[in-house]
Chain A
Amino acid sequence: NAGVTQTPKFQVLKTGQSMTLQCAQDMNHEYMSWYRQDPGMGLRLIHYSVGAGITDQGEVPNGYNVSRSTTEDFPLRLLSAAPSQTSVYFCASSYGGAGETQYFGPGTRLLVL
């Protein structure tokens, strides 16, 4: 049982490039979320999903796309990277939604030049 996995661990992008941050969980959790965390700041919700085929926006969705074709995977796409998207990205999942224990992945550190 690997829990929540994220790839890559670290990525450098140039402004305007696109990329996909991968998130997978093997706990059969319906609820999955993406957060970003800037240095010294709290977590901000980007997008979340309550099940396969269902996604919704969080606090800071602009510049990011998500899809949920399977229960296990919840990729986050940066359409055209900007320096303001330099951050650490965390994926989380839970069984039963927002009120249940959230399990976080190890994070992806993204640097946009």
Chain B
Amino acid sequence: LAKTTQPISMDSYEGQEVNITCSHNNIATNDYITWYQQFPSQGPRFIIQGYKTKVTNEVASLFIPADRKSSTLSLPRVSLSDTAVYYCLVAQKPYNTDKLIFGTGTRLQVFP
């Protein structure tokens, strides 16, 4: 299972774009990159997943360079409600019987 490294915490202000980078130097050919968001007192929820280049949905964008050794989650114009912990995970698809390790994530604090 590819290990990931991400910043422990980040601060931002409302309306700014936030980019959280995750390092996964040992990513394997069949590994996909997935980001989860966790609000206090709730379980994590899926935000976005990608394999290479760029993926965008209504919540975020995910940028993955050609070597796939890192990825960047981009949150456009954050609001106070984006204050949460963000986890970057790397895991093989399709069917994968490995254990899924979440780690400590990046704690994003958005200020007014």
Chain A residues in the interface with B (C-beta under 8 A): 4, 31, 33, 35, 41-45, 48, 50, 56, 58-59, 88, 90, 92, 96-107
Chain B nearest CB from A33 CB (Å) reads 6
Interface residues on B, range: 20 to 34
Confirm or deny: B101 has a beta carbon within 8 angstroms of a beta carbon on chain A: yes
Is there an interface contact between B43 and A41, defined as CB atoms closer than 8 Å? Answer: no
Closest to A42 in B: B104
Contact partner, B43, options A56, A100, A106, Cβ 8 Å: A106
* Of A58, A88, A105, A107, the contact of B99 (CB 8 Å cutoff): A58
**Which residues of chain B are near A88, meaning CB under 8 Å?**
41
Query: Which of B36, B49, B96, B104 is close to A97, meaning CB atoms less than 8 Å apart?
Result: B96
Selected interface stretch from B59-67, B69-77, B84-92: B84-92
Q: Which residues of A contact B95 (CB under 8 A)?
A: 96-97
A26 CB to closest chain B CB, in angstroms? 16
**Known A45-B99, A96-B93, A97-B95; further 13 A-B contacts with Cβ < 8 A:** A43-B44, A45-B102, A48-B100, A96-B96, A97-B96, A98-B91, A99-B93, A99-B94, A99-B96, A104-B43, A105-B43, A107-B42, A107-B43
